[in-house]
Chains A and B, each alone.
Chain A
Amino acid sequence: MAEEVFLFGFWGSPFSRRVEMALKLKGIEYKYIDEDFSNKSPSLLKYNPIHKKVPVFVHNGKHLAESLVILEYIDETWKDHPILPKDPYERANARFWAKFIDEKYLSAIWKSCTCEEKEREKAVEEVSELLQFLENELKEQRYFGGETIGLVDIAANIIGYWLEIFEEAFGVELLRKEKFPKLCNWANEFVSVSAIKENIPPRNKLIAFLRNRFGIGNTRHS
């Protein structure tokens, strides 16, 4: 039976890229539609009337929104290369960290990059505390998922790739190698995996996009 898989995404979004990473890891064929936010397509508005956001995933005519919900669906539907462990306790642990990353990291990183100068030190410290949790959680593993990429690694794509882009675009230092050696190592391993490497937005294009979109004129660090 021919599967029909569509993904509405945005090339720069870590959230829609997460879905692409999972699809690539599992070798699933799909059609990708890039959305222009200033002009959302009728299909997007039809498929995600509630949030009007990407990613929106469509499988055999049935649509889903919310990247982590989509990832769980993909894992349940296509059993090759599982991204969640089998053991219920380990699954709970993976879900806990994926949820934590989703709720805290992007907004904290964003804040540290775009806040007023007088608030920066505190904002950067908050990001540091968050990064420390993940540094500890990695322990001696290659990936958060153990020997292979899992749900938490994919959810942490924000830290694996986008973080460095934010640092460069806004001139803020967040992920110091001396302080977070394991996390830095993990980030390098993460982006070398082919399913991930093929699904990260081009660096310079993303930096330019961030700078243009959010009006970075003045430099903060020389």
Chain B
Amino acid sequence: MEEVKLLGVWPSPYSYRVIWALELKGVKYEYVKEDLANKSDLLLRYNPVHQKVPVLVHNDKPIAESTVILEYIEETWPHNPLLPTDPHERALARFWIKFLDDKSPTLLRFYLTVGEEQEKATKEVRELLKIIEEQGLGEKKYFGGDKIGLADLVFGFIPVWLGVLEESAGVKVMKPDDFPRLQVWIENFRENPVIKANLPDPHELLAHSKQKREVLLASKIA
């Protein structure tokens, strides 16, 4: 009998990527909520190197690092494939997944700063979005091609978290007429029935995000 556990944290985009992958493939799993201020023995045992979430545990074997987990899920439950079959297309999906993760400091900086620093950070994230739209998404419907794939789940940060961070930081990174293709992708992503059924509550997310920003900014000044 298969036993799949996911150790995660609300409202981490990294945990959600894995949730979405499991849900898209209809894999049954038990979700274990972790408290990062009070890490469980289970987490420390399953991810001794990073002591972070998400961790997927399949028949008692742990896998850490969200992108490694996503590839594992794809290989272990190959139905409803989330990666293209062509090796070059697969490589491009991996490239863009790595790209987004490597650029996460740039994505978050506008949310963690104020004043002139924030202005500069906002400009940088807009440049990033331009690259993502023009070169990552291009003319495709999804980052994965005709249908949702692993890269879309990773870029899911944009439809689900970016708007909330913008509101918390009082800054508009994506204005209504900006990045038209990306905006269409955002709509398609959010309308996917599996994604729609597995989104963090937007009000709770906003409240959490605002509070976190206050704490982070206060600690910088101190």
Among B64, B87, B99, B135, the one with the most A-chain Cβ atoms within 10 Å of its Cβ is B87
- With A92-B68, A95-B71 as contacts: A73 and B135 at CB distance below 8 Å: no
A-contacting 9-mer, from B35-43, B90-98, B112-120, B214-222:
B90-98
Does A64 lie at the interface of the complex (its beta carbon under 8 Å from any beta carbon of B)? yes
Give Cα distance in the complex from A155 to B58, angstroms: 26
Chain A, 98-116, CB within 8 A of any chain B CB = 99-100
The answer on a CB contact under 8 Å between A88 and B68 is: no
- Nearest Cβ on chain A to B116's Cβ, whole angstroms: 27
The answer on a CB contact under 8 Å between A62 and B88 is: yes
Does B49 lie at the interface of the complex (its beta carbon under 8 Å from any beta carbon of A)? yes
Chain A, 55-114, CB within 8 A of any chain B CB = 59, 62, 64-66, 68-70, 72-73, 76-77, 88-89, 91-93, 95-96, 99-100
Partner of B91, one of A50, A72, A89, A133: A72
Give Cα distance in the complex from A73 to B88, angstroms: 7
Does B23 lie at the interface of the complex (its beta carbon under 8 Å from any beta carbon of A)? no
Complex interface: chain B residues within 8 A of A133 (CB) = 49
Does B75 lie at the interface of the complex (its beta carbon under 8 Å from any beta carbon of A)? yes
Question: B75-108, CB under 8 A of A: which get 1 and which 0?
Answer: 1100000000001101110110011000000000
Does B207 lie at the interface of the complex (its beta carbon under 8 Å from any beta carbon of A)? no
Complex interface: chain B residues within 8 A of A50 (CB) = 99, 131, 135
Among A65, A69, A91, A99, the one with the most B-chain Cβ atoms within 10 Å of its Cβ is A69
- Nearest Cβ on chain A to B13's Cβ, whole angstroms: 18
- With A88-B76, A92-B72 as contacts: A73 and B90 at CB distance below 8 Å: yes
The answer on a CB contact under 8 Å between B88 and A88 is: no
- With A69-B95, A69-B98, A99-B68 as contacts: A92 and B63 at CB distance below 8 Å: yes
Complex interface: chain A residues within 8 A of B61 (CB) = 89
The answer on a CB contact under 8 Å between B90 and A88 is: no
B interface bracket (residues with beta carbon within 8 Å of A):
20 to 34
Complex interface: chain B residues within 8 A of A68 (CB) = 98
Does B69 lie at the interface of the complex (its beta carbon under 8 Å from any beta carbon of A)? yes
Chain A, 147-204, CB within 8 A of any chain B CB = none
- With A89-B61, A96-B65, A99-B65 as contacts: A69 and B71 at CB distance below 8 Å: no
Question: A130-145, CB under 8 A of B: which get 1 and which 0?
Answer: 0001000000000000
- With A66-B98, A69-B98, A95-B71 as contacts: A76 and B92 at CB distance below 8 Å: no
Give Cα distance in the complex from A96 to B99, angstroms: 17
- With A69-B95, A91-B75 as contacts: A59 and B68 at CB distance below 8 Å: no
Does B67 lie at the interface of the complex (its beta carbon under 8 Å from any beta carbon of A)? yes
The answer on a CB contact under 8 Å between A91 and B72 is: yes
- Nearest Cβ on chain A to B47's Cβ, whole angstroms: 10
Partner of B92, one of A59, A64, A88, A91: A64
- Nearest Cβ on chain A to B167's Cβ, whole angstroms: 29
- Nearest Cβ on chain A to B179's Cβ, whole angstroms: 17
Give Cα distance in the complex from A49 to B95, angstroms: 13
Give Cα distance in the complex from A100 to B48, angstroms: 13
- Nearest Cβ on chain B to A61's Cβ, whole angstroms: 10
- Nearest Cβ on chain B to A4's Cβ, whole angstroms: 13
Q: Across the A-B interface, give the 5 residue pairs with the lowest CB-CB distance, nearest first.
A: A73-B91, A88-B75, A92-B72, A76-B87, A69-B94
Q: Which residues of B contact A (CB under 8 A)?
A: 49, 58, 61, 63-65, 67-69, 71-72, 75-76, 87-88, 90-92, 94-95, 98-99, 131, 135
Using A69-B98, A92-B68, A93-B63 as known contacts, list a sample of 17 further A-B pairs with CB atoms less than 8 Å apart, ordered by residue number in A: A50-B131, A50-B135, A64-B88, A64-B91, A64-B92, A65-B95, A66-B94, A72-B91, A88-B72, A88-B75, A89-B63, A92-B71, A95-B68, A96-B64, A96-B65, A99-B68, A100-B49
- Provide 12 A-B residue pairs closer than 8 Å at the C-beta atoms, listed in order of the A residue: A59-B88, A62-B88, A69-B94, A76-B90, A77-B87, A91-B72, A91-B75, A92-B63, A92-B68, A92-B72, A99-B65, A100-B49
